[in-house]
Structure 1
Amino acid sequence: MSKFPLYSAAEFRRRAMNQTGGPIELAWREHGDHVLNPETILQVEGQRLRDAAVLVPVVDEGDDAKVIFTLRTATLRQHSGQIAFPGGAIDPGDASAELAAMREAQEEIGLADIFVEPVARLPHYLAATGFRITPVLAVVKRGFELTLNPTEVEDAFEVPLSFLMDPHHHLRDSMHWRGSTRHFYRMPYEDWMIWGITAGIVRTLYERLYA
């Protein structure tokens, strides 16, 4: 029995460092919406994918931590107007996925490195748009001030970890995309609709840490 409240940042850290579900290098097929789209994933796996990283920023907020999300601007070339975690392509100068995710978070929303503690990774998310995404789990200390880069981010908001880790909020949906039916999760929260890649990563987080 853990000594930490279930949805605290301390318990999140403990669970992130002791994940269930097998090694992250091999487990991506078994989680999130990959399970819902086996044929699509086989197609994506055969493509030449570009490596990317996103930061999953879990803010230390007492017994119920908060998770930072962004709303991407409508003018971006890919995933425009969608809810996302801070992140992007891993550049040649990035020494690790962790440093890439933290760099992108600073560039996109002004989240300074001194407040961010990377604690673990989730299995890769293979995106049909051509990216192999490494989700970097991090605990974030309060005291930061966000400054949004208007060319990339239109808004930023926080969602309680307890809400995201409740499977009753993980609704399933589908759409016709590129000639086939694609199944995905969506998670409505207040005025926001978390769906697609981001919801798939949240679902994987639930399956690996809280299911």
Structure 2
Amino acid sequence: MRVEVLFDALEARLKARPARTFELPGRALREAAVLLPLFERQGVPYVLFTRRPTNLRTHAGQYAFPGGGQEARDVTPLETALRETEEELGIARGDVRVLGLLDETPTTSSYRIHPYVGVIPGDGKYVPNPMEVDLVLEVPLAALLDPSIVRVERHMWEGLEHDVHFYTHGEHVIWGATARILRNFLQLVVDVPDVRDLLDAPLPAGP
């Protein structure tokens, strides 16, 4: 199965299922959007993450998907995700093939994230904005599906216990809202027929 077939299958599944919305009773959530970027290189599908600089006031040093808060100029959350991707990584919005929308995800800073899945060019020609990105991390999709890289902890939020997932890839640990979005996406991936035929292909060496 070619990677393009996988992307087509993911697009079909995202369009066939309505994304779940999220509300927090008694609290007005601010709107935000991110892009979960996919790309293909040498027949291997990848997921792209960014790492936030350590000098930021919020979520410093954490791994994220490109995105941010919705601004007045953004007519839709999708426009927010594409604008932020362009600003953070230099990827023109016209070069993104949007596959669809995952479930809305809350953050502890009172944002409601609209996570979009999109395919970006696989040439690796990023122009990171140093104010927002200090590392671009490319991870083969098959590596993220390895159950041995995941651990789960129980944390408290809003007076309730919930699972917090941690994905460890080499020295990189992905958790928080990014991990929740990633888990939602990976649950979609494993339902694609014959997906293992593609993901069992040899992976590039190194983290």
- TM-score, reference length from structure 1: 0.79
Matched-pair identity in %:
30
Deviation string, structure 1 residues 121-146 (Cα, Å, up to 9, x no partner): 10100112111101110011223521
Cα deviation, residue 180, structure 1: 6.6
1:149 is matched with 129
Question: Given the alignment of the two structures, is residue 105 of structure 1 paired with residue 85 of structure 2, yes or no?
Answer: yes
How many residues were matched structurally? Answer: 191
* 2-structure distance, mates of 1:57, 1:141: 9
Greater mean alpha carbon deviation, residues 12-21 or residues 115-124: 12-21
Q: 1:55 aligns with which of 25, 30, 35?
A: 35
SS in 2 for 1:23: coil
When the two chains are superposed, the root-mean-square deviation of aligned CA atoms in Å is: 2.4
- Aligned partner of 2:5: which letter? A
Which ranges of structure 1 fall in alignment gaps of 5 or more residues? 29-41
* 2-structure distance, mates of 1:87, 1:14: 24
* 2-structure distance, mates of 1:189, 1:25: 28
* 1-structure distance, mates of 2:43, 2:26: 43
Q: How does 1:1-211 map to 2 (within 5 A)?
A: 4-5=1-2, 8-19=3-14, 22-26=17-21, 44-143=24-123, 145-175=125-155, 182-211=162-191
* 2-structure distance, mates of 1:69, 1:101: 14
SS in 2 for 1:65: strand
- Aligned partner of 2:125: which letter? E
* 2-structure distance, mates of 1:83, 1:207: 20
- Aligned partner of 1:159: which letter? V
Which ranges of structure 2 fall in alignment gaps of 5 or more residues? 192-207
1:39 is matched with none
- TM-score, reference length from structure 2: 0.81
